[in-house]
Amino acid sequence: MAQGLKAERLVDYALGLKYASIPGQTAREAKKRLIDAFACMLGAFKEPPARIAREAAPQVAAGLRATILGSAEQTTLEAAAFANGTLIRALDFNDTYLSKEPAHPSDNIAACLAAAETAGRSGEDFLTAMIAAYEIQCRLCDSTSLRAKGWDHVAYGAFSSTAAASMLLGLSREEAINAVNIAATISPALRQSRAGELSMWKGCAFANTSKDALFSALLAKGGMTGPSPVFEGEFGFERVVSGPIGLSANFGGEQNEGFKIDETYIKFYPAEYHSQSAIGAAIDLRAEIEDALIEVDTVVVKTFKAAYEIIGKGAERWRPKTRETADHSLPFLVAAAILDGNVSLSTFSERMEDEDLIGFTQRVKVEVDPDMDRMYPAAIPNRVEVTLKSGKLITGEMIYPKGHPMNPMTDREVEEKFRALSEWALTGKKADEILARIWELEKLSDMKELTRLFII
């Protein structure tokens, strides 16, 4: 059966990547993002989507199986990937990559964890697959926008998560190509997940892709063939979903090319990434206002087109009814930052229905600024202009939010995020042990040694 050249290219890259070719600093960045992902998972453990995903997972005692974070019980690979993927994404606090298509590359970690645990893979194997997944998804995001065509970014995850799962489950080249072809054929998801009033499914969409990635890999390993060529075929991905995809001449580690994981962003606030600099700017200027409810007349957020389209338009952004809408609402987030001096998980659990906050949100306007638009996506610029009732204008501006590669979070800050989100479940001593294991993950002979530490 003829295979598509692009599917072959992705598989050859993934199967050919070796831990020895990954620079030490890149491996450390991968560990930081793994700590960040575990922080998000533990922080989201009690959220409704996470509970629903856990309850939907069957208990299994034989065959291929993996664990859901926080539990000692075993379930299928697919169910573990779905539940853990929902945990990673539910708080909208995990990492981001912005290009022609935005993405959250740590979404791939759920598939990697399930496959690595099942196959008894080492820490080196896991990190290599994780870095390959980041590389593939981000390179695809660089190639063309899915959002502009009505498709969700998780469609690219079918390629990245399936390639990583194939690496960890020991698929041959032919099997891995078939796995990618199967997953990619069933992967396209509607962008409606992130439009209008947002639902719990926003945090589950990639988790579903992870589930399908593992199932596709298992089918291919058992001999199932997949439709090909999946990119270039008559009704292939390029013709129906993405349009022409031009892959980079070199991926990370090839011909001294840098790795994309180094260019991803860790979130400082639990909100959609385009809002991070607006939140930071609003918090900075708040020091000049004694009582915002009384003093502020209007607030104008000058932003770039992508931020306006994703989180700055639609009546629901001014009166969010769900947590998922609130953390994707630029006016609500800026209003909270000005009134409270912070945006945290309590913003959504305690403040969403506050009459003062909702009323203040109505004073916020969002406008596209051409100068801001020209900076994106290399920078994530936002300017917050507050006009007081006295007529005084106060302006705050941020170009690179905390967590951006140009303004990175330190190792200690990422550890503090982990401790803050996990303190309800882990003692300080247990958190220390987990962090120490992750920082030296390449020395781990079996990833089960790490996942067992998360039994709550």
Residue 296: its H or E element? strand 296-303
Integer Cα distance of 187 and 400 in angstroms: 33
The predicted structure's pLDDT at residue 61: 85
Helices (H), 153-245: 154-169, 173-186, 205-221, 237
Integer Cα distance of 81 and 78 in angstroms: 5
CATH topology of domain 273-398: 60s Ribosomal Protein L30; Chain: A; (3.30.1330)
Q: CA torsion sign, 273 to 274 to 277 to 278? A: negative
Integer Cα distance of 23 and 410 in angstroms: 18
Integer Cα distance of 445 and 123 in angstroms: 6
Integer Cα distance of 156 and 138 in angstroms: 9
205-221 and 109-119 helices cross at what angle (nearest 10)?
40
- Structure letter (DSSP) for residue 410: P
Integer Cα distance of 188 and 342 in angstroms: 36
Closest CA to 404 of 296, 291, 267: 267
Residues of the chain with CATH 1.10.4100.10: 5-268+435-454
**Ranges of residues in the chain whose predicted pLDDT is under 50:** 1-3
Residue 281: its H or E element? helix 276-285
CB atoms within 10 A of CB 54: 22
Residues of the chain with CATH 3.30.1330.120: 273-398
Q: Which two tokens stand for residue 143?
A: 């190639």
Say whether pTM exceeds 0.75.
yes
Integer Cα distance of 112 and 110 in angstroms: 5
Q: Does domain 5-268+435-454 have CATH number 1.10.4100.10?
A: yes
Please tell me the number of Cα atoms within 13 Å of 440 on its side-chain side.
Answer: 9
